[in-house]
Structure 1
């Protein structure tokens, strides 16, 4: 049973939670602006795109920008060495994800099944260490993004090289921004990170947890939602329905009470973001697109904390541009993104929250029965 303190401030499922989630979706939190970090994030994504256009290799430039984007939420806490280690780990995980996705990509039952099974395994293994909660989502997201690049005119080796180069470039800029901030603003030296528990302790705790339903609840719930999404990927017309899977991974949360907020924010933000994407991909000169991409990449980290709906608004056109591989997306494809996102949100609500609440209640009743 959750404590009252643990429930405080969280919306409850039901009619009132919808109103609460809507209020949360439009609520802004005050977040300190880090100008150096924002500048680094913008340059890390925009410069690879610009270089690719100048060299007439737009696909390589966009893949490099994706690499920088996928590690942009790492390396923001702790001392320089701690940030460097986190960036390296994040880059390796993202690189592995995009390469696995590139190899598994394609619209087929076998491909979708493999992606779902690998995702369940990643979710389960990700609970081995505290930092794994972040990296498991990162791996699955980059794997799905990589699967969308299966038909890209780039061999897996070249794609991996461009992605790794972009991630490395983004990591260097992130560390440089931290150093510049400390030098110019005279920020105090951060406290050293706590010594992590030994691997054997975490492994023993993980093994014990995975012998219980609680250890498998989130991986199986995510897998169930992804399996339903995979059905739609294979039956929907068009070739871009992997966004159903991507939406499910983003909005299905370990705590089901957080999922409703994320689902509503994601849905509202995507609808507005597609409108921006239509403008960027249809009628704007290339140099303006590069500038807008840089601005969006710069502010996305700030918006993710300040207001997730606004974050979704800017992330939608950003990912649309970076996954277009230099080819404009027709308006019907952009509308398809809205439909895919709506389906992903609906799956999250019906399977990830509603159906799973029935499963959880049934499991609790079986535990409460005498003699169990």
Structure 2
């Protein structure tokens, strides 16, 4: 594939999937709602903390049956809560905390091989472990922050269910649309155990652990710089399939870099509270649409959304933003380099 064709695929805008208007409204309100409520009583940072929980749950599709929607919300809610609990338990032990994060993320990667549903859940857990442990690392009250994150996730779930019910009253959706697994638990366990007897069954875990170890190493060797974004970039970019330059990874990488630059503009100008809430609500609202239209645009919108939340609405210095951009580029290069190495050493499929 030549460069022009590759770039065209990176920027290609898909119109195949349908997105309900109520999904955009639900996603925007799920994150902007808690921020608006707490901002009204003079506690904007608390509202931003609550929106961390809504970040994972707000993207659940509302146009399916009640059973499917509840199942998807549960599978989104549980990893967020577990990530918040893990962040509380792991904080405060110095380098041992960093090692524990790598070990826990690696265990999640192994467990994810059980099924497709577990792939989604464990990937979400790894990403939100990276987010919450960074957010909680600077929080004065961990218990309060934990309850806020859980409350934000529950708020998003309830809002999604209510708006989903509204969609179902307008058009007929019944249980026949429910997705049923074609494999039994015994078959899944047998397949999972068999995959762990081959190198291909461990490649994702090994790549993730290697990238996270190097990312944590950067933080320890250069503590004066804000290099935690390397860890977060790795969590965002790394995928289960080994491909040096897959379209989706390129879209994620370019989108993440562009998102960091865009977020820098937001944070340098120090938006007022209402501007911050509108920006987060708008970015959250377009997420479901961009995710199915173009993954590059989706990644570019997700990154400033995460950064705005993690900074609790505070303006930061240009030096910090430069550190984050460098950290993002390091994370991108790290994931690509490790993918290249593993694509060479992994046996080719028959």
TM-score normalised to structure 1 length: 0.85
Cα distance in structure 2, aligned partners of 1:279 and 1:82:
39
Q: How does 1:1-372 map to 2 (within 5 A)?
A: 16=2, 20-30=5-15, 31-76=17-62, 78-105=64-91, 108-184=94-170, 186-189=171-174, 191-195=177-181, 197-238=183-224, 240-257=226-243, 260-281=246-267, 282-351=269-338, 353-361=339-347
Task: Kindly tell me the number of residue pairs found equivalent between the two proteins.
Answer: 347
CA contact (8 A) 1:260 1:349 kept: no
2:336 aligned counterpart, secondary structure = helix
CA contact (8 A) 1:79 1:193 kept: no
Cα distance in structure 1, aligned partners of 2:115 and 2:256:
32
Shift of 1:188: 4.3
Instruction: Provide Cα deviations, 1:2-49, integer angstroms capped at 9, x if missing partner.
Output: xxxxxxxxx6xxxx4x65543222111114331111001101100111
CA contact (8 A) 2:237 2:253 kept: no
Cα distance, 1:278–1:123 mapped onto 2, change above 3 Å:
same
Cα distance, 1:23–1:107 mapped onto 2, change above 3 Å:
farther
Shift of 1:67: 0.3
Structural RMSD (CA):
2.5
CA contact (8 A) 1:269 1:312 kept: yes
Shift of 1:138: 0.5
Which sections of structure 2, spanning at least 5 residues, go unmatched?
none
Instruction: Provide Cα deviations, 1:215-261, integer angstroms capped at 9, x if missing partner.
Output: 21221122222222222222234453222112112222222238543
Cα distance in structure 1, aligned partners of 2:154 and 2:107:
27
TM-score normalised to structure 2 length: 0.90
